[in-house]
Amino acid sequence: MSSDKPVAIVTGGGTGIGAACSKVLARDGFRVGINYIDIVEDSAKAVLAQIEDGFLLKADLTDADQIESMLAEIKEKAGRVDVLLNAAGISINKDINSMTLEDFDLQRAIVRGSWYLTKRILRLFMLRKNSGRIINISSVVGHSGNSGQIPYTMEKAALDAFTKSLCKELAGRNILVNSVAPGFIDTPMTQNLPEEVKKRILDSIPLGRLGDPEEIADVVSFLACRASYISGTVIHVNGGLYGG
C-alpha cells in the first residue's frame, strides 16, 4: 500500500537505539518500517504498538535472501522509501586471542548486510526522483578504539568510511548520507556491563553520565527531517568523551 506519507526504514528498530529512533521518526511524521530478528520479536511488536503508523519487517541482515524478501515486503507495504537508518548491530566482546574466525565473521556480516540493503534499497530512492536520506549508526569506539572489541570497532569504523564514500558516489542525486556516532548509551548492551566497567566509563565522560537512546534519536531525526546541507559527515553524540 503506497501513500504520500514519507517512509523510514529502521534496521534493528525493535530494541535500544533503533527502537528510540523508530518512535521519534514516527512522532515526526514518518511511516516507519521496523526491521527485527526472531529473538527480539516481542520488543519489536511493543515498539509498533507505541507508534501511530508503522509495520514490521522480519529479516536477518546477515542473510542476503532475507534482505531480498524484506525489500519485496517494503514495496508491497509502503511502495517508497525516503529514509534508511542502518541501526542494526551486535557486539562480540573478546580479546584478540579469544576471538574466533566464526565470531569475527558474524560481526563482519552485519556491516556486509547494511551495505547490501543500502545498495538494493537505492532503487526505491530513485523512484522518489533521486531524493532521500541514508543514516548509519556507528560508534565512538570506531574512532577511539576499545580493548576487547576489535571486530566491533572495525565494523563501526567501516560504516563511517561507507558513509563518506557513498556520499561521493551519490553526488548530484540529492541523496544525503551521514553517520551518527553514539558514545556510551543507556541500553541493554551497557546495562549488562560489570559495575567496575560502568564506573570506569562514567569517569571518562565529561558530562558524567550515559546518554539516553532518545538523545541519539533526536540527532537522527534532525538529519532525516531538517538537515539539507549536511552529507558525508559523522556527528558525534557522546557527552564529550571523544572530540572526533
The alpha helices in 78-194, defined as continuous H runs, are 101-126, 141-144, 150-169, 188-191
Instruction: Assess whether 152 carries a catalytic annotation.
Output: yes
CA pair distance 75, 121, nearest whole angstrom = 10
Which residue is listed with cell 549536511? 230
Contacts 24+ apart (CB under 8 A), 163-167: 163/134, 163/136, 163/138, 163/232, 163/233, 163/234, 164/232, 164/234, 166/118, 166/134, 167/231, 167/232
Name the catalytic one among 36, 116, 152, 229: 152
Catalytic residues: 152
